[in-house]
């Protein structure tokens, strides 16, 4: 199995942004806990590259994905730019959130004529509603919307697809790239995950589990937010050929299916049987999935105590909060920017998805991408 290298990243979730990520990780979490993701505004550098009809198809999701994707590509191309031929073979993998806007369409139709104030007439004329729906609006609802924009703007033509696996979504994208790039002609891939806990699909599930209180956030066990995160990964062949300085080397990407709502200690112990002995003996830094749900973090720590002689733990969600599909990739990017984790250290990223299973990403940190200040969340 060929190794995969991370050469760029982009992040925009809660208080965390690329330019200040290292500094933010050293700040007190309470000072940043109320900060939310800014309104979705496309970067001016991207606007100039986009046709008007494409801008009409943008959603909040695709805007945030394009912005973090631009940051990741800019970092990755800091030393050596991708050639047109390389871009022609590069893949794109993304997650997606379902857009449920039928109520907006019905309201627009009802407001189009005073006669529709009468309920029975409105119901009889619903078949005419399609006449007021612009075709571009339908493109916004497609699960491939972000994928389309990312591929077109960055001219990446190697194929790809959207994935949706609950909180495992982002890490599943990295797993796809890890295995697919080893046998394809592609020299790399752009990975982009987006999540939004305010969406009804996500918020209602967590409310029913007793983990989220929309009326009183202070009573919520899980602190939800909206966010997007992106990685550029490249093959070992291109890194060596072009003398590129990668940020990290991905050594293993593994997922284990489970129908359990939450992973148990035994689930993690079974997963760690797939990890080489030298990793367990390397005193790794383990980034916990722990999203605030009762018992999740404890199960992870008990498994680590059973499988490792020594290890260090990081928890980043007190700053990044929780946005479902972005979860694992945001933790990974935070670990790369965390100055308390020295280059050369082995890092293990934990991921979980309700009724989907769990995931392990093992990587070695290689370079510090930005100037960093001391500090870490433990």
CATH for 323: 3.40.47.10
Tell me the CB-side half-sphere exposure of residue 130, using CA atoms within 13 A: 2
Whether 231 and 266 map to the same domain: the answer is no
Count of structural domains, the chain: 3
- Per-residue pLDDT at 279: 95
Alpha-carbon gap, residue 329 to 201, rounded angstroms: 21
Whether 46 and 185 map to the same domain: the answer is yes
In a domain, 373, yes or no: no
Range 339-342, long-range pairs (CB < 8 A, 24+ positions): 339/22, 339/25, 339/26, 339/368, 339/372, 339/373, 339/374, 339/375, 339/376, 340/374, 340/375, 340/376, 341/285, 341/314, 341/365, 341/376
In a domain, 374, yes or no: no
- Per-residue pLDDT at 98: 73
Which of 241, 258, 276 is the last residue in one of the domains? 241
Whether 92 and 213 map to the same domain: the answer is yes
**Short-list 6, 68, 64, 69, CA closest to 38:** 64
Alpha-carbon gap, residue 228 to 327, rounded angstroms: 10
Whether 215 and 356 map to the same domain: the answer is no
Whether 269 and 334 map to the same domain: the answer is yes
Whether 47 and 147 map to the same domain: the answer is yes
In a domain, 376, yes or no: no
In a domain, 266, yes or no: yes
The answer to whether 229 touches 9, Cβ cutoff 8 Å, is: yes
Whether 20 and 152 map to the same domain: the answer is yes
Whether 58 and 109 map to the same domain: the answer is no
Which of 241, 266, 284 is the last residue in one of the domains? 241
Whether 317 and 339 map to the same domain: the answer is yes
Could you give the C-alpha distances from 39 to 226, 227, 320, 358, in angstroms and in order?
Answer: 10, 11, 17, 32
**pLDDT tens for each residue of 190-205:** 999 999 887 777 777 7
**Short-list 56, 54, 71, CA closest to 13:** 71
Positions in the chain short of pLDDT 70 = 1-2, 28-36, 99-104, 215, 217-218, 368-378
| Backbone conformation region of residue 182, classed left if phi is above 0, alpha if psi is from -120 to 50, else beta | alpha
Whether 165 and 274 map to the same domain: the answer is no
- Per-residue pLDDT at 373: 37
Whether 94 and 174 map to the same domain: the answer is yes
CA–centroid distance for 231 within its chain: 9
- Per-residue pLDDT at 264: 93
Q: What is the pTM of this model?
A: 0.87
Whether 142 and 65 map to the same domain: the answer is yes
- Per-residue pLDDT at 28: 54
User: Residue 111 belongs to what domain range?
Assistant: 102-136
Radius of gyration of the chain, Cα coordinates, nearest whole angstrom: 22
Residue by residue, DSSP assigns 311-332 as -EEE--HHHH-B-GGGHHHHHH
In a domain, 260, yes or no: yes
The answer to whether 286 touches 331, Cβ cutoff 8 Å, is: no
Which of 211, 241, 271 is the last residue in one of the domains? 241
């Amino acid at each position: 199995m060929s190794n995969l290298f991370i050469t760029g990243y982009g992040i925009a979730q809660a208080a965390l942004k690329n330019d200040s990520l290292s500094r933010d990780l050293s700040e007190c979490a309470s000072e940043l806990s109320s900060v939310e993701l800014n309104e979705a505004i496309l970067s001016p550098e991207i606007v100039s590259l986009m046709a008007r009809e494409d801008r009409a198809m943008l959603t909040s999701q695709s805007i945030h994905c394009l912005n973090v994707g631009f940051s990741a590509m800019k970092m990755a191309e800091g030393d050596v730019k991708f050639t047109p031929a390389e871009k022609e073979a590069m893949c794109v993998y993304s997650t997606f959130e379902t857009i449920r806007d039928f109520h907006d369409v019905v309201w627009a139709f009802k407001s189009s004529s005073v006669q529709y104030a009468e309920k029975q007439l409105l119901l009889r004329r619903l078949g005419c509603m399609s006449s007021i729906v612009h075709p571009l609006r339908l493109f916004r609802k497609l699960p491939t919307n972000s994928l389309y924009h990312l591929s077109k703007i960055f001219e990446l033509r190697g194929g790809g697809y959207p994935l949706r696996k609950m909180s495992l979504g982002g890490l599943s994208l990295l797993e796809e790239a890890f295995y697919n790039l080893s046998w394809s002609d592609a020299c790399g891939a752009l990975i982009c995950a987006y999540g939004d806990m305010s969406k009804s699909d996500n918020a209602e599930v967590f409310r029913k589990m007793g983990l989220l209180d929309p009326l009183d956030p202070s009573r919520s066990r899980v602190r939800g937010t909206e966010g997007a995160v992106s990685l550029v990964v490249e093959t070992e062949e291109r890194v060596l050929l072009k003398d590129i300085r990668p940020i990290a080397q991905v050594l293993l990407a593994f997922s284990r299916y489970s129908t359990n709502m939450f992973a148990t200690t035994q689930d993690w112990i079974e997963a760690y049987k797939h990890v080489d002995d030298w990793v367990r003996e390397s005193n790794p830094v383990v980034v916990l999935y722990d999203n605030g749900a009762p018992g999740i973090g404890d199960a992870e720590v008990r498994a680590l105590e059973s499988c490792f002689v020594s290890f260090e733990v990081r928890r980043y969600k007190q700053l990044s909060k929780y946005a479902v599909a972005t979860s694992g990739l945001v933790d990974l990017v935070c670990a790369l920017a965390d100055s308390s984790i020295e280059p050369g250290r082995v890092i293990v990223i934990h991921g979980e998805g309700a009724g989907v299973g769990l995931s392990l990403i093992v990587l070695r940190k290689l370079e510090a991408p930005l100037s960093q200040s001391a500090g870490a969340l433990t």
